Every structure is written in C-alpha cells, then in structure tokens.
Structure 1
C-alpha cells in the first residue's frame, strides 16, 4: 500500500515477514478445518479472526517501517534550521512513519501476548490485570509453563534486548510525555526572546532505523515461533 507513495509496485512478501505469515496461515488452516458438515466452534472462529488480525498487524508494521526508511534516506542535514523546505517535509514524514512503526511494533507483541495468554490458558491477568507481552513471558518463566516455547521466546527477547529497550523507551516517551517536536518549538520560542539562534539537531535517524529493524525482526521471529509451535 505505502509503496505506491514512492511509485513502487506492491510488496512481494519475503524473508521474516513471509515466514511469519506462512506460520499464521498454517495455524489458520487448522482452526478452520472441520469435519464434513460440522460448523467451526465459537472458539475456533475467535482464533481464526485473531489470525486475520495478526496478518493485518504485521502488514501495517512492515509498511510503516518501510516508509520510515525511505523518507529517512532523504534526510542528510544534521540541523533542522539548515534544512530546505523539501528535506524538512521528508524529515517530518520520516518521524511520522517511524513513530507509527514503533507503536505498531509493540502492539504486535502485546497482541501476541494476549493471544498466548488465552490460547494456552496462562492466566497472566491474575498477576497483573493490564499486562504486556513481556509480562506473559515472565509469567511463563516463573511458573514453568510451556517451557520449550518459553525458552525460545526468552532467547529471542534476550538476543534483541538492547535495541528493544531503546525502542520501548522511545515508545513510552512518544505516548506518555510531551512530544519532542513540540518541545523543540517551545525552546525555539523561549530562546528567540533573547535573540539566540536555535540549533536543533535531528533525531538519530540512522541509529533509530537500525533499532527499528532489529525490533521488527524480533517481532516477526516471535510470531513465527508461536504459530509454528501451535501446529507441531
């Protein structure tokens, strides 16, 4: 969908995205396959809808990441006040899609956590009413639930710990604290009172995108691991 913005053809699924989608569709076939003349149960229909939701969520995450990368490639200037209008617009478009991908990344993980909690009857809500994917993993580890699956997911979490921590902090700042762009505007207005020139630097575009790629890879691999486990 978003590739059309850049005059490109629709995406052809490859790599980790393809593996995740195939794992989801493999499980989807198992919950929609019924005996002749029998209708799917309410629970089977619920899981089938959840599968479709995962396919959509992964698609939206990947597309947002892709657009963030493409606009980020156009940002060359370090200081915002030295940007020409076109580059400044591309920088703001980059931030829009980067923040969108960031939020969607953790939404995918939390969706996976809630799915696992119900599918495996983990009862994480007894420990914490509002829980995240990472809370579910901690619950599995503490109570030794589905240890073969938990070991694989914990290894993924550990392998991507550093970029995920940075991404989580950015996500929390984006959602819960003052927007960084608005803060820059406030600083500019305050400093202008004293005749000082604002030298506002851009975000670390390259570093942020590298972390985002790692975070998305972790999400794809985690989804693949869970859904392959279900159809073993």
Structure 2
C-alpha cells in the first residue's frame, strides 16, 4: 500500500520475509482445510487462523513502515536541524513518523507472537506476569518445555539480534514513557552546549537497527510456523497410519 502511495512498484517478497510469509500462509491454509473437513465446535482452529492471518498483516505493515522510513531518509541531507529547508524538514518529519511506527510495531508483533506461543504450548505465562511480553514467554517456554527444540531456536535468534533490539527497546520506552525518541539526543546536546546547533541523530544507524529487528521478527515467525507445520504433518501422518492399522 505505502509503496503505491510513494510511486514505487509493489513489493516482491524475498529472503527471510518470503519464508515467514510462506510458512504462515501454509498454516492458515491447513487450519482452514481442517475447519472445512471437521466441525470446529470449540472454535480453536478459527482462533488460530485469525491469529495467524493477523500476524501476516502485522508483518506486512512492519515491513512497509521500514521501507517508508528508508524512503524519506534519502531526502534528508543536512546534518543539522537549523540547516534544513522547510521541504527537508517535512521529509525528516515523515522519516521520523514511519521510523517510530516501525519500532513500535516490532515489539507489538513480537508480543502477538508470544500470545500464540503461550496458547499453543500451554505455558500459562500470565501466572508469572499478568501483562507479559514475548520475552517473558520465551523464558517460560525454555523453562517448561526444554524438550521442544523450538524454544532453543527462538532464544538463539533473539540472542543473535540482542543489540539492535535493545537499541529499539530504549527508544520505544523513551517514546512511550518519557519524551519523543528523536528528541532525547537533542536534550543531551543541549546539556553540552546551550547555543550550539542540534546535530541530527544517526539516521542510518537507527534504520539499520530497525532493519535488523525486522529480520529477527521474520526469522522468529518462520521458526515458529515452520515447526508447527512440520508437527502438523507428523501428527496427520501418524493418525493415518493408526487408522490404516485399525482396518480389517
């Protein structure tokens, strides 16, 4: 959607984004097939399908926010706020809007994934923390289900992207609880010299943190749904063998 508004061609999924989208689409398709074949009296399959399609939409929106932030960043060439033209200030404001939208979406999407894991593996994370995050679910997963290889894989993915995630978490917390994330650096600079010009934050470094975190989200989603799909096929095959042995 945003690419169209910006005059860019539609996205063609590739790499880790394509893998995550494909695994989630397969899960949604299998759940729909199961509902069509069997009655879903407790609506569990329907709930899982809605959650899966919601994650597909959330990932699409996160990628678009990163793309739009990177798009507007290209028009910001001045190193100081005072040196910007009014047009460049507008481009910078649009970069900030989509960058902040992106890092908020990173943690929102991860928390949604945590809800799916908590339900799917009966982790009862709410008993540990009423309003839990994805990272609380990961700790609970490793503690209660160490025999499930997915728990270790997700922890490994998280550790591989710890630095960019921590950077985004600090900016997210500043944005929500303290002040606008892009202004925290301005405040620090004012402490150094009251009348000095305000240098822009490192836009490329911030965008790289967002890009890396998007990659982490893609890999986490891919791991979860690939594992679920493999388990689904194993269980289906086992039921088929059992049914076959039961025939006269």
**TM over 0.5, yes or no?**
yes
Q: Distance in 1 between matches of 2:37 and 2:153?
A: 38
Higher-Rg member (1/2): 2
In structure 2, do the counterparts of structure 1 residues 129 and 23 end up closer, same or farther at CA, with 3 Å as the change threshold? same
Change beyond 3 A, Cα 1:144–1:43? closer
Tell me which residue corresponds to 2:226.
228
Q: Which residue of 2 aligns with 1:215?
A: 213
Judge conservation of contact 1:81–1:198 (CA < 8 Å) in 2. Answer: no
Aligned residues: 227
Cross-structure match for 2:40? 40
Task: Please report the RMSD computed on the Cα atoms of aligned residues, expressed in angstroms.
Answer: 2.3
Contact 1:140 1:146 in 2 (8 A): no
Q: Is residue 80 of structure 1 aligned with residue 78 of structure 2?
A: no
Deviation of 1:40 after TM superposition, in Å, equals 3.3
Gap regions ≥5 residues in structure 2 = 231-248
Summarize the Cα distance change of 1:181–1:137 in structure 2 as closer, same or farther, 3 Å threshold.
Answer: closer
TM-score normalised according to structure 1 size = 0.90
Structural mapping, 1:16-95, within 5 Å: 16-34=16-34, 38-41=38-41, 42-95=43-96
TM-score by length of 2: 0.84
**Is the 8 Å Cα contact of residues 96 and 182 (structure 2) preserved in structure 1?**
no
After superposition, give the CA deviation of every residue in 1:60-99 in whole Å (9 maximum; x if it has no partner): 0000000000111211111101111111111110000000
Whole-angstrom distance in 2 between the partners of 1:206 and 1:35: 46
Aligned to 1:106: 107
In 2, the alpha carbon distance for the partners of 1:185 and 1:172 equals 17
Q: Find the aligned partners of 1:139 and 1:183 in 2 and give their Cα distance.
A: 34
String of CA shifts for 1:83-123, please: whole Å, max 9, x gaps.
Answer: 11111111110000000000011111000001100111111
1:68/1:33 Cα in 2 relative to 1: closer, same or farther (>3 Å)? Answer: same
Deviating beyond 6 angstroms after TM superposition, the runs of 4 or more aligned structure 1 residues are 182-187
Gaps of at least 5 residues in structure 1 are none
Q: Cα distance, 1:11 vs. partner?
A: 1.4
Closer, same or farther in 2 for the Cα pair 1:88/1:47, shift >3 Å? same
Q: Distance in 2 between matches of 1:84 and 1:46?
A: 50
Measured after TM superposition, the shift of residue 146 of structure 1 is: 4.9
